Structure 1
Amino acid sequence: MAYVITEDCIACGTCIDECPVEAISEGDIYSIDANNCTECGSCASVCPSEAITKG
């Protein structure tokens, strides 16, 4: 299952640079394109608010 970003997201941008397939989009709450997510977990490991979980 692809990773998802929960409402705990603080839109800090840390996760975007970590995604090797550019599956994360900016916004008030960032989002992950499930079709592009390779489930590597890089984004979740750097999220300071622990807002990224396996969906």
Structure 2
Amino acid sequence: MAVTEHKGLVGRVKPIKVKRGNAVTTWGNAARRQTELKPLIGRLSDKLQAAKGSYVEL
């Protein structure tokens, strides 16, 4: 393999590594946010159920 071919391959691999790293970071952030939101959603669901129980038609 010529030196120019090697440099060309390296030039193409680096952006792929960056894209993969960004995707892994994005996936990790989404998983963390989902974990943070689960308890909040549960509390909101409980409040909604309580509100439904106290609802009185006029």
Q: What TM-score do you get using the length of structure 2 for normalisation? A: 0.18
Higher relative CO (Cα under 8 Å, sequence separation at least 6) belongs to 1
Whose helix fraction is larger, Structure 1's or Structure 2's? 2
Structure of larger gyration radius:
2
Whose strand fraction is larger, Structure 1's or Structure 2's? 1
Q: What TM-score do you get using the length of structure 1 for normalisation? A: 0.19
